Amino acid sequence: MGKEVFEKYESNIRGYCRKWPVELVSAKGSIYKDVNGNEYLDFFDGAGALNYGHNPEYIKAKLIEYLQNDGIVHSLDMYALPKEKFIDYFENKILKPRNLEYKIAFAGPTGTNAVELALKLARKVKGKPDIWAFTGAFHGMTLGALSLTTEQAARDAAGVPLNNTVHIPAPYSMGGNFDTIAYMKEILEDDHSGYGKPSAIIIETVQQEGGIYVFSEQFLQDLRAFCDENDILLICDEIQIGCSRSGTFFSFERANIVPDIVCMSKSIGGYGLPLAITLFKKDLDVFKPGEHNGTFRGCQLSMVSALAALEMTVNEDIPNKVKQKEKMVKEYLEREIKPLLSDNMEIRGIGLTWGIDFKDGKMAREVLDECFKKNLIIELAGREDSVLKIMPSLVIADELLLKGLEIIKKATMKVLKNRK
């Protein structure tokens, strides 16, 4: 039957397959293979869930061994050995060296669940219904998280009002001249502003779906101070930018700030397996047993792969490797791509997440299509999908990284030339 099965029986809701209409069958490292044996270079990284590439040997071996020994796979939140080992390693090798003291809650199984848990906790602790987020934010698709997500098409699909969220213009608004902190101060102090105090402010330190906007260290520090001064919790959504993508394990390390609540998912599972966790300062743990629940919070296979991924992070010093690859990408983009672009177009990024903002969704899509013709899988982000989003695995071989960048350059040249 082939691909028609999807078209005939699967809902119209399917999305990514429309950009890359191939039927995949296997994958290794940064290479996908389709059913016809064609190979595709992956600059999409499972939307950030595959920071260690496809089927990394180290993690795979641990998973196979675990399955072969009939290790427990499903256990809700009953105590289980892989979960114990994951928590212990996370505490001692990730949190303690960074002087972070957090409790961990398993939300499950996907990123939006970690956000829902964070929202529930923040409102329970502070007692205020509102949460503030920033324009351009993406935090998930379930109702609570969706109320924070700004993409209009996704919001329109909710079918109900998305309440109790206020979107504050991000610092890049108004051509980068917007003083977000001053604005928040003013609306909080003005008893005629119409705004109430929120329980929390949620932020991605680098807006990914919003179009690869890297918030400055100063802004993040000012935001932390603003939250402290006003008794507001700060939530960092690390779901896409965390797990070393920005060059440090937690992206907020760059600004030397400590959020009150941290949401993680995607690559925390290590192998593309589902895992979502919410971390919070110990004094915030006001939950009663079972107040937030879910059948798939305890996939022990995910715990096995998550532990192995953390071991890779520490043993191979992946954050440091990202910094080296960041240099390569940044230099290439500035040297080879920037001169091709018009003045209004921008290149933005950090670590191994970069965007070429064509300021024109149609043009960006044409570049994506050209890249796909050359067997490069790459995604779009941002306003009207105008940003080509470069997001390879963190352990991609340098030759493949360069190969992908060269495909992007040629695709950009072709599209821009056709436009002249």
Identify the residue among 140, 210, 319, 355 touching ligand PLP (CB under 6 A).
140
> How far is residue 219's CA from residue 125's CA, in Å, rounded to a whole number?
25
- What are the backbone dihedrals phi and psi of residue 65, each rounded to the nearest 5 degrees, phi first? -60, -45
> How far is residue 195's CA from residue 187's CA, in Å, rounded to a whole number?
6
- What are the backbone dihedrals phi and psi of residue 86, each rounded to the nearest 5 degrees, phi first? -65, -50
Identify the residue among 62, 83, 123, 139 touching ligand PLP (CB under 6 A).
139
In the numeric block, the tokens 């507001």 are attached to 232
Nearer to ligand PLP, 188 or 235 (CB): 235
Nearer to ligand PLP, 115 or 200 (CB): 115
Closest-approach residue to ligand PLP (CB): 111
Q: Which pair of tokens denotes residue 371?
A: 């890249």
Identify the residue among 29, 32, 56, 112 touching ligand PLP (CB under 6 A).
112
What are the C-alpha distances in Å from 4 to residues 1, 21, 56, 373?
Answer: 6, 11, 31, 21
Q: Which 3 state secondary structure label does DSSP give 354?
A: strand
Identify the residue among 240, 248, 305, 353 touching ligand PLP (CB under 6 A).
240
Q: Which pair of tokens denotes residue 338?
A: 């920037």
Nearer to ligand PLP, 30 or 110 (CB): 110
**Contact, 195 vs 230, CB < 8 A?**
no
- Site membership for ligand PLP, residue 108 (CB under 6 A): no
- Window of 132-140, 323-331, 336-344, 402-410 that interacts with ligand PLP by CB under 6 A: 132-140
- Site membership for ligand PLP, residue 151 (CB under 6 A): no
Q: What is the DSSP letter of 296?
A: T
- Site membership for ligand PLP, residue 239 (CB under 6 A): yes
Nearer to ligand PLP, 255 or 363 (CB): 255
- Site membership for ligand PLP, residue 355 (CB under 6 A): no
Nearer to ligand PLP, 265 or 302 (CB): 265
> In the complex, what is the shortest distance from the CB of residue 391 to ligand PLP, in angstroms, rounded to a whole number?
11
> In the complex, what is the shortest distance from the CB of residue 383 to ligand PLP, in angstroms, rounded to a whole number?
16
In the numeric block, the tokens 């190969």 are attached to 403
Nearer to ligand PLP, 82 or 274 (CB): 274
- Window of 108-116, 121-129, 251-259, 309-317 that interacts with ligand PLP by CB under 6 A: 108-116
What are the C-alpha distances in Å from 232 to residues 82, 99, 133, 264?
Answer: 35, 22, 12, 20
- Site membership for ligand PLP, residue 22 (CB under 6 A): no
Q: For the chain, what percentages of helix, strand and coil (3-state, to nearest 5) are there?
A: 45, 15, 40
- Site membership for ligand PLP, residue 379 (CB under 6 A): no
> In the complex, what is the shortest distance from the CB of residue 377 to ligand PLP, in angstroms, rounded to a whole number?
16
- Site membership for ligand PLP, residue 250 (CB under 6 A): no
Residues with Cβ within 8 Å of 186's Cβ and at least 6 positions away in sequence, in order, are: 193
- Site membership for ligand PLP, residue 259 (CB under 6 A): no
- Site membership for ligand PLP, residue 146 (CB under 6 A): no
**Contact, 206 vs 213, CB < 8 A?**
yes
**Contact, 268 vs 275, CB < 8 A?**
yes
> How far is residue 122's CA from residue 292's CA, in Å, rounded to a whole number?
13
- Residues of this chain, 29-58, that bind ligand PLP according to CB under 6 A: 47
- Site membership for ligand PLP, residue 115 (CB under 6 A): yes
Identify the residue among 53, 56, 111, 319 touching ligand PLP (CB under 6 A).
111
Identify the residue among 151, 204, 357, 370 touching ligand PLP (CB under 6 A).
204
Nearer to ligand PLP, 224 or 245 (CB): 245
DSSP per-residue codes, 143-162: HHHHHH---HHHHHTT-S--
**Among the listed residues 375, 378, 341, 376, the one whose alpha carbon sits nearest the alpha carbon of residue 360:** 341
> How far is residue 420's CA from residue 200's CA, in Å, rounded to a whole number?
48
> In the complex, what is the shortest distance from the CB of residue 409 to ligand PLP, in angstroms, rounded to a whole number?
27
Binding site for ligand PLP (CB under 6 A): 47, 110-112, 115, 138-140, 204, 208-209, 237, 239-240, 265
